[in-house]
Chain A
C-alpha cells in the first residue's frame, strides 16, 4: 500500500517534470525540470530495489552531466522568439517523429501486453539473497560480461581523447605559466650575489 502510494507520487512528479522539460519557456527551468525527472526516476528504481542504478543515475546525470548542462544553458543568452521562428516550417518533421514513436510504443504494448493492475515486482530475484543488488551487478559485470564492459570503457576513453584532440588548440604567443619550470627554478637562476668593493676614502 505504502509502496504503491510512493510509486504513484513519484510517477506523477516524473510525468509532470518531463512535460515541463519540453513545455517551459525558460531553458534553465527546463534543465532543472530534467534534474527533477532524473531524481524521481532514480526514486522509482529504488522502489524495485535497483539501488545501484538509482544512485549511479543521481551521481552521473544529476551530479555531473546536468551541472555541465546548466553551466552551458545559463551562459547562453537564448532568444525564445528567434527559436520559435521556424516553427511552422519544421512542424511536420516533429509530427512524423512523434507519430512513429507512438506507433512503436503501441506496437510493444500490443505484443507484450500491459497488465491492468500495476504490480511492483522486485526485479529479478537475486541468486543469493544475502548479496545486495550492487554486489550482484559487480560480480556479473567483472566475470561474465567483462569483455563488453572493458570494450565500452575503451570506447569512452577514445571519445574523451578525440574530444580533447579536436578542441585543443595551441595559440601562438600565449603566455602560459609553466609550473614544472617554476618549481625547478634554483636560487642561482634568479639571484646573483655581487661583491662590490666599498670605495676607499681618499
Chain B
C-alpha cells in the first residue's frame, strides 16, 4: 500500500491532476450512459403501463427480473448491424454528425453540481457554458440531415434548426430569471442560494419561468410532442432516416443523454438540486432526511424524466406552425413579463429577497 502511495506522490502534479480528473470524468460518463440504457427501458415500461401493456418482459439478467436485460440486447443488436452509408452522401459529415450530436450532451455534465460542493469543473460561468453547449448540439441534427442527401432527412434538419433557435431564446430568458434570483452564474452557488426550505426554492417564486424552461427543454431535446424533426408519420424518421446500426444508436444516446441533462438542470435551477425537500421543516428536517445529498438530485431528476415520458404518452404531436407560435408568441412574452415582475420583487424586497 505504502509503495503505491509513494509511487503516486512521486508523479508530477500535471500527470496526477490529469489522472484524477480523467477518472472522475470516466465515472460520470459511465453513470450517464448506464442511466440512458435503463431510461430507454423505463420509458417503454412506463408507457406500457400507461397503455395497459406490460412493456419489454422477455430478456432477463441471470434468469430473473424480466426485461432488465433489454437495453443490453438492444445495444448488441445495434452494434452488429451494418452501418449503411448512402451513395452520393457527404461521407465525412455523415460520419461525424452523430459524434457532434453526442459530444455536447456529455460535455455539459462537466459543470453539473453533482454533490454538495462538487462538480467536475466548478467554473464561475457555468450557466453560460451550459447555454452555449446546448446550442451547439443542433449541429449534429442539421449535419445529419444535410449529409444524408435525402429529402426527408433534410426536411427534418430544417425543422429542427428553426425549432432550436426559437426555443433557445425562451430557455435563455428563463435562465436570466434564475440568474437574477441567485446573483451568480455558478451552478453550485445557484443551488446554495435556494437553501432554507421548499418555499425558498426557485420553483415557487419563478414558477412561470420553471414551466417555460421545462417546456423549452422538452422542445430542445426533440421529444414528443415537439418531435417534428423526426415526425415518423410525415417524414419517416426525419434527420436520422438514413442512419442504421450503431450510428443510429449514437443519435439515440444523444437524445436520451440530453433528456437526463434537461431533467437534472431543471432540478438544479428550480428545485434546489441536491438540497433536501425536508430542510427547514421541524423535527423531520433535523434528522438525516433534511441533509443535502446527491440522492435528492437523483430523485428530482427521475421525477422530471417520468414527466417527459408522461408527456410523450399523453399528447399528440404539435403541428410545425403551432410549435413556432408557442415558442415565439407565448413562451418568450411570458418570460419577459416574469423577469419584470421578478425585478420589481427584488427592488421592493418581496419574498426570498426580503433579507
Inter-chain contacts of B128 with A (CB < 8 A):
51-52, 55-56, 59, 134
**Complex contact B158–A71 (CB within 8 A):** yes
Please, what's the 1-or-0 string for A39-56, where 1 marks a CB less than 8 Å from any CB in chain B?
000000000000110011
Q: How far is the CA of A28 from the CA of B148 in the complex (A)?
A: 14
- Chain B residue nearest to A68 (CB atoms) is B165
Q: Does B74 contact A (CB under 8 A)?
A: no
**Complex contact A59–B161 (CB within 8 A):** no
- Chain A residue nearest to B137 (CB atoms) is A63
Q: Does A90 contact B (CB under 8 A)?
A: no
Inter-chain contacts of A83 with B (CB < 8 A):
none
Please, what's the 1-or-0 string for B225-249, where 1 marks a CB less than 8 Å from any CB in chain A?
0000000000000000000000000
Interchain nearest-CB distance for B159 vs A (Å): 11
Q: How far is the CA of A64 from the CA of B138 in the complex (A)?
A: 10
Q: Does A132 contact B (CB under 8 A)?
A: yes
Decide: A74 near B146, CB < 8 A? Known: A2-B14, A179-B325. Answer: yes
Tell me which of A62, A64, A67, A134 contacts B125 (CB under 8 A). A134
**Complex contact B132–A62 (CB within 8 A):** yes
**Complex contact A59–B131 (CB within 8 A):** yes
Q: Does B124 contact A (CB under 8 A)?
A: yes
Interchain nearest-CB distance for B95 vs A (Å): 14
Inter-chain contacts of B132 with A (CB < 8 A):
55-56, 58-59, 62-63
Total residues of chain B contacting the partner, CB 8 A = 28
Q: Does B102 contact A (CB under 8 A)?
A: no
Which residues, 1 to 21 on A, are CB-close (under 8 Å) to B? 2
Q: Does A194 contact B (CB under 8 A)?
A: no
Please, what's the 1-or-0 string for B120-136, where 1 marks a CB less than 8 Å from any CB in chain A?
00011100110111011
Which residues, 146 to 189 on B, are CB-close (under 8 Å) to A? 146, 154, 157-158, 161-162, 164-165, 168, 185
Interchain nearest-CB distance for A96 vs B (Å): 36
Interchain nearest-CB distance for A149 vs B (Å): 15
**Complex contact A132–B124 (CB within 8 A):** yes
Tell me which of B157, B168, B321 contacts A64 (CB under 8 A). B168
Q: How far is the CA of A201 from the CA of B201 in the complex (A)?
A: 71
**Complex contact A28–B125 (CB within 8 A):** no
Q: How far is the CA of A58 from the CA of B146 in the complex (A)?
A: 22
**Complex contact A63–B135 (CB within 8 A):** yes
Interchain nearest-CB distance for B103 vs A (Å): 12
Tell me which of A56, A58, A70 contacts B161 (CB under 8 A). A70
Interchain nearest-CB distance for A121 vs B (Å): 20
**Complex contact B142–A59 (CB within 8 A):** no
Interface of A is mostly: helix
**Complex contact A134–B158 (CB within 8 A):** no
Which residues, 107 to 136 on A, are CB-close (under 8 Å) to B? 132, 134-135
**Complex contact B124–A67 (CB within 8 A):** no
Which residues, 124 to 173 on A, are CB-close (under 8 Å) to B? 132, 134-135
Q: How far is the CA of A64 from the CA of B133 in the complex (A)?
A: 12
Q: How far is the CA of A58 from the CA of B143 in the complex (A)?
A: 18
Q: How far is the CA of A179 from the CA of B323 in the complex (A)?
A: 13
Q: Does A33 contact B (CB under 8 A)?
A: no
**Complex contact B136–A52 (CB within 8 A):** no
Inter-chain contacts of B125 with A (CB < 8 A):
51-52, 55, 132, 134
Which of A62, A67, A134 has the largest count of B CB atoms less than 10 A from its CB?
Answer: A67
Q: Does B139 contact A (CB under 8 A)?
A: yes
- Chain B residue nearest to A132 (CB atoms) is B124
- Chain B residue nearest to A63 (CB atoms) is B135
Q: How far is the CA of A182 from the CA of B146 in the complex (A)?
A: 37
Q: How far is the CA of A75 from the CA of B344 in the complex (A)?
A: 45
Q: Does A35 contact B (CB under 8 A)?
A: yes
- 19 A-B pairs whose Cβ atoms sit less than 8 Å apart in the complex: A32-B93, A51-B124, A52-B128, A55-B131, A59-B128, A62-B136, A63-B131, A63-B132, A63-B138, A64-B165, A67-B142, A70-B142, A70-B146, A71-B161, A75-B158, A132-B125, A134-B128, A135-B124, A179-B325
Chain A positions within 8 Å of B, measured between CB atoms, are: 2, 28, 32, 35, 51-52, 55-56, 58-59, 62-64, 67-68, 70-71, 74-75, 132, 134-135, 177, 179
Chain B positions within 8 Å of A, measured between CB atoms, are: 14, 93, 123-125, 128-129, 131-133, 135-136, 138-139, 142-143, 146, 154, 157-158, 161-162, 164-165, 168, 185, 321, 325
Besides A58-B133, A63-B132, A64-B168, 15 new A-B residue pairs in contact (Cβ under 8 A), listed by A number: A32-B93, A51-B124, A51-B128, A55-B129, A62-B132, A63-B131, A63-B135, A64-B135, A64-B165, A67-B135, A71-B162, A74-B158, A75-B158, A134-B128, A177-B321
